[in-house]
Structure formats: C-alpha cells, structure tokens
Structure 1
Amino acid sequence: MCCLCSACILLAFVWDVSVPSNGEGIYEVERKQGKNNGVRRILHTNGFKYLDRASIITLVDMVKPANPWHLCTITQVEVKSILKLLPIWFCTVLSSVVFIQMLSLFAEQGAAMNTTTISNFHIPPASMFAFDIISTSTFILLYDKLIVPLYIKVTKREPKPPSELQRIGIGIAMAMASMIIAAIVEQQRLKHAGSKNTRGLSIFWQIPQYVLVGVSEAFVYVAQMEFFATQTPDGLKSLGIRLSMSSSAMVSYICSIILTTVMAITSTNGEAGWVPPDLNDGHLDRYFFLLAALTAINLVLFVICAKRYSPTSFENRAENMEMGTQEQANEA
C-alpha cells in the first residue's frame, strides 16, 4: 500500500483532529531511529492540510509507541506532492494534441500536395516526419552549448537558464505557432487545388510546421520528464516518469474525441465536414486553427497552474548523506 493511500485510510480515524497552523505536533521519524537508505525526508507544506491529520500526534500516540498503522510520518503524508502535479500533467496532455497531428493529418495534408520534385522524384508524405526528428535532435544537442549562452547574452541576465515550467510553456507556445502555420499552408494548398495547376503547392511548404513541432517537443518532453522526476519523492521517481510519459499515451484518445466531435458538427446537412476523406472538399485549415485556439487556452491554463505551483521541499541531500554515513559508523 502506498504512503498516500495509508494516510487517506488514517483520515477516517483522525478526521476530527485539528491541524495546527504552525506545523507543530506533526510526527516524523528521527534519523537515529532508522536507516537512511539514501531517501530524503520531505519538509512540511501547507497544501492539502486535511491530509496532515494522519500525522498529528494525539494523546494515545504519546502514551504508546508509534504505530505505523495509526500514525504516518510527515514524509509519508507529503507524498501528497503527487496531487500538486496533476494540473501540470493535465496541461501537458492537452499540449500533446498538436504532436499527434504529425502522424495523421500532417501526412494526409502532404499526400494532397505536390510530392514530385526535380527529376520526377516522388517524396512519400510520411517521410517529412524526418524534419521533426532532425529538428528535435539538433535542438537538444545545441541547447546547452549554444542556445542557453545566447539566451544569457541577449537578455543580459545572470547565468540562469529557463526553469522546467518555463520551458514547457515555451514549447506549448511554439506548438500553437506550428498549428497556425499548418493552417496557413492548408489555405494556400486549397487555393492551388482550385486552380488549373491541381496539387501545385510543393510538399516542402510543410517543413516549417514540422520543424516547429520538433522544437516544441524538445522543449516540452525533456522539461516535462525533468520536472516530474525532480518533484516526486525519492521512492516514487518511477511514478513521476510514468506521469510524464502517460500524457503522450492519452493524447490519442483526446484527438479521436476532438476529431469525431468536429466531424459530427461540421458534416450536417449533407456537407463534407472539415476533415473529409478528400481534403479538397473540406476545410482542414479551420481544424488546425481550432487546435491552435485550444492550445492557446491550454497555454493560459498552464501559466495559471505554473504560477500557483509550489515546489516540493526536500531536506538537504548533503546533510542526508552525512546522516547515513554517521549511522553506518555507529553500527560498525
């Protein structure tokens, strides 16, 4: 049973216990009472105070030895820090809606464009995904060596790169820009499809949107994994990494719901809808603009959640290691 679940069970027995505002009377195991095991204790926070009741020392606990089934340590209760991550996680799930478009609608858009280049060489629409991979890999490699020093030089600030939350916000903004560019490209494609030169717009016009999505992925996914790994307790690092990866797993269902809803609304009265099998009969540009608007709303929600977020406070790692070394010396 996880620490948070056991704390919630204890709430049924101590619900009427009042929580002190100054954090006094809260139970925590001293270092000398147990092994260190390299796990840092979590400092007390004021969020989700109703969960603190599970760690309040009552009169019964003062008379009898601490029972782990009757009293939680503050470190166990502070696993509630996982709950603080959920709003950030929800915003990253919505931002991944843009990334999934490369595997579906971007390829369909490319198939409706002119894929023939010089010497009649045919470019498979799905191969344009290579620009996303190249831009993502290049950005990750150059971030610390070129981009961060250039950012410091331009802003003339102290050598402090953007935080994880700031990088996620930048990535969401770039994802919104990529959807706007994709919509503009689709408008131009429809104009060429309506002229005599059918499918005259070259597929290379898709390169900017692929590059922007790739850089956006580098911002969001890397910062997202770092953020969840650093903000989860030492014993739950795998859970934090799974949270960061689950956003890309859930986005397929969200995209399916959005597309189904849009087609149900726009295909009434015998109309083809925004995303029909033949894109020349639809308005894929409007769908991309809709995704850009949803991403903008998601960006606003993310900024609000990021400003309200309070980082999890751990004890000093150096002090933690010193305590562990001292315990091993005493045992020897």
Structure 2
Amino acid sequence: MDSGNVIKEIPLNEKEGTNCVGATIENCNINNKENTIYAQSKKVDKKSVGGWGPAFLLLANQGLATLAFFGVAVNLVLFLTRVLGQDTASAANNVSKWTGTVYLCSLIGAFLSDSYWGRYMTSAIFQLIFVLGLVLLSLSSWIFLVKPSGCGDGKKSCMPTSSVGIGLFYLAIYLVAFGYGGHQPSLATFGADQFDEKNPKQKKSKAVFFCYFYFALNVGSLFSNTILVYFEDLGMWTMGFWVSTASAVIALVSYLMGTKCYRYVKPSGNPLPRVAQVFVAAARKRKLKLSDGAELYEVEGSESAIKGSRKILHTDEFKCLDKAAVVEEEDQNSSIVNPWRLCTVTQVEEAKCVIRLLPIWLCTIIYSVVFTQMASLFVEQGEVMKLEFGNFRIPAASISSFDICSILVPLAGRLSSNPKGLTELQRMGIGLVIGMLAMIAAGITELERLKRVPPGKDSSTLSVFWQIPQYVLVGASEVFMYVGQLEFFSEQAPDGIKSFGSSLCMASISLGNYGSSMLVIMVMEITAKGDNPGWIPEDLNNGHLDRFYFLIAGLVVIDFAIYVYCAKWYKSTDWDGSQSVVPKDGQVEDGAVADV
C-alpha cells in the first residue's frame, strides 16, 4: 500500500442489505469480523464441500463435453464442403466464424456467472442448451442433409439440401456454440472455487487444477480426433453426431451428481456499473489535485464493499483514477454514499486490474489466428495430400491427434512433478514463438506438397504425415499459451470477475477466429484478380497457401515484440493479505457463497 495515502475505513451497518456498491450506507452489510463461508441451504461441515472429489467430477464433465464438441468441430469444414457443397474458402471462413462465436459466447457466460446466476447455475443452463443443439444437429443431418445415407465421404455426393434442412443445421450448430462457449469459463472457475486459496496446500492444488482442466479437454478431443473423425470421414455423419450427443448428456449428468458436494461462490453483482462508476467519479473530480495526504475511501473489515471479494491494496498506477476514491468534504457530510461520486479503493483497483489485463489479452489474439488454422486450412491442406497408408485411408482431420499428443506429454510431466518454473507471462511468450515456428513449418510443407502434384491430379504424392511437425508445434505452443493464459487471467482477475478472467482466454480464441476469417477475405480480395486464382482458391493446387502461412508467421513476430513490451510493463495484482477466510465455528452457513 502506498504510504503516502491514507485509507479512510468507514464503518457500515451490518444488519441490512447485501452489497455496498451502489447502495446507501444504511443498506450495506459487511461482515467485519470474518469472511463467512456459505453452502447452499443449511449449515454443513466445511470439510464436506469442495476439494478434489468435486473437482474430479468437473474434470470428467470437461472431458466428456469436449469430446462432444470436437465431434462436431473437428470435421465441420469437410461437412460444409462435402454435404452442403461449399467451396474451400467459404467453408474455412464459416468454420472460423462459427468457432469465433463459440468462444465469444464465453463472455456472455462469464458475465452471467459473475453477475447474477453464479458458476453452478450458469454452467448447468448452458450445458442444457449444448445438449439441445446437439440433438437438433443429429436430427437435421439424419432427416434432411445426409441423403442418401453414407454420402459426404468424398466419393458419394449428397442430394441438394433443402432450405429447411440448412436452416435447422445452422440453428443447431450455433446452439452448440452458445452452449459450449457459455459454460466453459464458468466450469473452469467453478473448479478453481473448490480449493481454499488461504490454505497453502489447496492453493497449490488450485494451480494444478488448471493443468488437469486442459489435460481433460485434450483427452476428450483425442477421441473425437481419432475415432469419431474416422467414421465421419466415411460418411457416417449422423452416427458421429449422435455419439457427441450421448457424451454431452453423460457430461451433464456427471455435473449434476456433485451438486451437494460443490463449494459455491455467490455472484458479486454486475461489474459493468462498478467499473463505470470509477471512471465517472474520477471524471467528476478531474480538477482535484491529489496530495500525499489525501484520504482514500475504503470500508472497514476484512471484506471489500464488493460482495464476496477480497480487498485489493492501493497501487500508484493510473493515479487519475484514485480521484474516484478521494473523500471530500461533501462526501463526509453526506449520509448517503453516492457510488457515482465516491468509490472504494478496491473498486478503483478492480478497474485498474481490467486496464492492466487488456494489453496482455490483446497480444494473445494473433496467436489464436495460428490456433484456428488446425480446424480449417490444415484440414483442407491435408485433404489434397496422400492419405493412403497401405490399404487404410487416413482422415485428414485425424492428424490433429498429434497436436493433442504433443500437449498431453508435457502436461503429464508437469502434473507429475508440478514445477512452477517459468512465470505465466514467460510461458505465454514462449507459446507465441513456437506458434510462429508452426506456421513456418506449415508453409514449408505446403511448398513441398505443391512440388509433388502430378499433372492432371487433384492430390499431391506427398504423405499427409508431413503435416505432423506443424501439428506438434501448435500443440507444444498451446501448453505454454493457453494453460498459461488460464492460470494468469484467473490469478490476476479480481474476485468479483473471476469467470471474466477465465473467459478472456476463450475470447482471444474467438477474436482470433474472426481475425483469421477477415485475413482470408482480405488476402483473396488482394490476390485473386483477373485470371489469378489467389492464394487460397477452391483448388489449392492452383494457389499459394504457403504464402498465407508465412504471412501469419510474420504477424506473430510483430505481435511478439509488442507482447514483450506489455509483459515488462505489467504489474501483478496485490491482494490484502490480512484477511481470514475461516469462520470461528468452522462451519458453513446458509446462502451460496464459498471462501474466496
């Protein structure tokens, strides 16, 4: 805490109300003696809720839900080209937009989770939407799209699709996007909530949980990328979608099984007005000159005025925002706290945390452009390579299993030894560098592929196994980038917006997909002129996909330079360490708040 500033702690009435932000002093309720822990409806022993038991249920849920999701996502680009008859560039763009929507929905889920519904309810509702989307997708493909049965295998053409079938298909896949994307950040944060951060042993378990979470995600997708993708490649699309549906149903059931064992955290209210209040209050006091002895407003006790949140120590960054917490004579004489004029130090620091996180987050978007190529152009590239291995035809999308294996090996090593090693920011930087190398490897593979296209043939004689290095490098970069992101944003985000912190990782994937789609459109607008087919034509043998990969690699180099600057500038959130989260009676009371 800055010794030059005095934190003025104002006592508040403890009998009424639930949330001090935006309320009168009389309507506030801050427990100044202890940070009380709550379960759902009655007093229970604190030891009976949370811990690794419920966490493993959530990990099982993650693995099964991911299996269901990637059962749709991994081969979607081929479904669009083979069944719906779309060209390569359009299909790649549609997949990028859809994947972007999946992860953009994570922001919606995070907002509802942090503000109103809580992690448990948000995750349950969005999983139900996810199941409904998969049921509709299975029915639409069975009744309207995959006709005759077994079509869409690359040999047998499907009948022209009806507008009703196409409409139901797009409604279904966007319900899948909404459901899966919305529940992911809530599930990740809900899993972390199962561990008491004030307990040193459980705090280590909380850090390890994110590794397990990403491990479960990739184990689930491994089945989809090997078994399901094989049957879908043979034209068994409806069966693949029904298997995904069954997996999502089992995931939902496993999630609900732990209802009585979970540790719950109450939502902290809408963070948007809280952050807006800081900027408005600071603007209203913009003419005020800050002095070393300025009194800054904070409430008494171990909790902040934000329900269920720890206090955050004052920092010297963005001093102009400190004006929002300066107690003037008008504030002292008023019996009502006007949150649009006077904010607590923790509320101001929450806004500062958001400002500090945004540059780091923006620098991760370009990496997600690299990541999204696996579900679109990598698959299209593999489709025009040699897929035969003896008498066995290898599905192009199944090569992505090497990406998953390259993730699981280092993750397993980290889980067995649990070394902290590099910081989250350092790991994310390494992820950017390896992602750039993946794009270079993909470009080199494409150059070699084009050299080996026989005249008059659709496919190259170059084996699809040449794609292994680019998939392995993307997988290795994921371990550093996405696991690092999950830990970093979850750790650094204030308590009132923890799900928002988890959603930032997924939102970067979303914007990366939209960015990839825009980049494809821009490249084709510039390169496809006159008789020139452009870099990414329908027939990749006439294009220069290698140049597109090298372009992305160049963008990553520029992004890395900016990231290094932002990472050096970043300062970690400083929590108030004086709090205690264990109640005197060691029990949990009614409500829905867990220790934070």
Same fold at TM > 0.5: yes
Query: Aligned to 2:372, which of 88, 100, 118?
Result: 100
Give the Å deviation of 1:228: 0.6
Query: Aligned to 1:16, which of 256, 269, 287?
Result: 287
| Aligned positions of 1:138-177 closer than 5 A | 138-145=409-416, 148=419, 161-177=421-437
- Identity of counterpart residues, as a percentage? 42
| Partner Cα separation in structure 2 for residue 4 and residue 276 of structure 1 | 46
Tell me the equivalent position of 2:332. Answer: 62
| Partner Cα separation in structure 2 for residue 192 and residue 34 of structure 1 | 66
| Aligned positions of 1:275-294 closer than 5 A | 275-294=536-555
| Aligned positions of 1:54-203 closer than 5 A | 54-65=324-335, 67-69=337-339, 70-80=341-351, 81-118=353-390, 120-145=391-416, 148=419, 161-193=421-453, 199-203=460-464
| Partner Cα separation in structure 2 for residue 79 and residue 171 of structure 1 | 28
| Partner Cα separation in structure 2 for residue 12 and residue 296 of structure 1 | 38
Q: Is the 8 A contact 2:304 2:310 kept in 1?
A: no
Aligned residues: 312
Tell me the equivalent position of 1:156. Answer: none
Q: Is the 8 A contact 1:23 1:44 kept in 2?
A: no
More off after superposition, 127-136 vs 225-234: 127-136
Q: Is the 8 A contact 1:276 1:282 kept in 2?
A: yes
- The unaligned stretches of length 5 or more in structure 2 are 1-269, 587-596
Q: Which amino acid aligns with 2:555?
A: L
Residues 42 and 66 of structure 1: is their aligned pair in 2 closer, same or farther, counting only changes over 3 Å?
farther
Q: Is the 8 A contact 1:38 1:320 kept in 2?
A: no
Query: Aligned to 1:243, which of 487, 504, 520?
Result: 504
Tell me the equivalent position of 2:57. Answer: none
**Is 1:5 matched with 2:271?**
no
Q: Is the 8 A contact 2:304 2:311 kept in 1?
A: no
| Partner Cα separation in structure 1 for residue 550 and residue 514 of structure 2 | 20
**Is 1:320 matched with 2:590?**
no
Query: Aligned to 1:51, which of 321, 324, 327?
Result: 321
Tell me the equivalent position of 1:268. Answer: 529
Give the Å deviation of 1:305: 0.7
| Partner Cα separation in structure 1 for residue 418 and residue 487 of structure 2 | 18
Give the Å deviation of 1:11: 2.9
| Partner Cα separation in structure 1 for residue 300 and residue 289 of structure 2 | 24
Q: Which amino acid aligns with 2:395?
A: P
Query: Aligned to 2:473, which of 180, 202, 212?
Result: 212
Give the Å deviation of 1:15: 2.2
Q: Is the 8 A contact 1:115 1:122 kept in 2?
A: yes
Query: Aligned to 1:234, which of 495, 503, 515?
Result: 495
Q: Is the 8 A contact 2:429 2:564 kept in 1?
A: yes
| Partner Cα separation in structure 1 for residue 396 and residue 430 of structure 2 | 28
Tell me the equivalent position of 2:562. Answer: 301
Residues 230 and 286 of structure 1: is their aligned pair in 2 closer, same or farther, counting only changes over 3 Å?
same
TM-score, scaled relative to structure 1: 0.87
**Residue by residue, what CA displacement relative to the aligned partner does 1:58-114 show, whole Å, maximum 9, x if unpaired?**
122333456143321100111121111111111111110001000111011111111
| Partner Cα separation in structure 2 for residue 302 and residue 33 of structure 1 | 34
Tell me the equivalent position of 1:25. Answer: 295
More off after superposition, 250-259 vs 191-200: 191-200
Question: SS state of the match for residue 15, structure 1?
Answer: coil
Whose helix fraction is larger, Structure 1's or Structure 2's? 1
Give the Å deviation of 1:133: 1.9
Residues 147 and 75 of structure 1: is their aligned pair in 2 closer, same or farther, counting only changes over 3 Å?
closer
- The unaligned stretches of length 5 or more in structure 1 are 149-159
Give the Å deviation of 1:32: 7.4
TM-score, scaled relative to structure 2: 0.49
**Is 1:222 matched with 2:497?**
no
Q: Is the 8 A contact 1:97 1:251 kept in 2?
A: yes
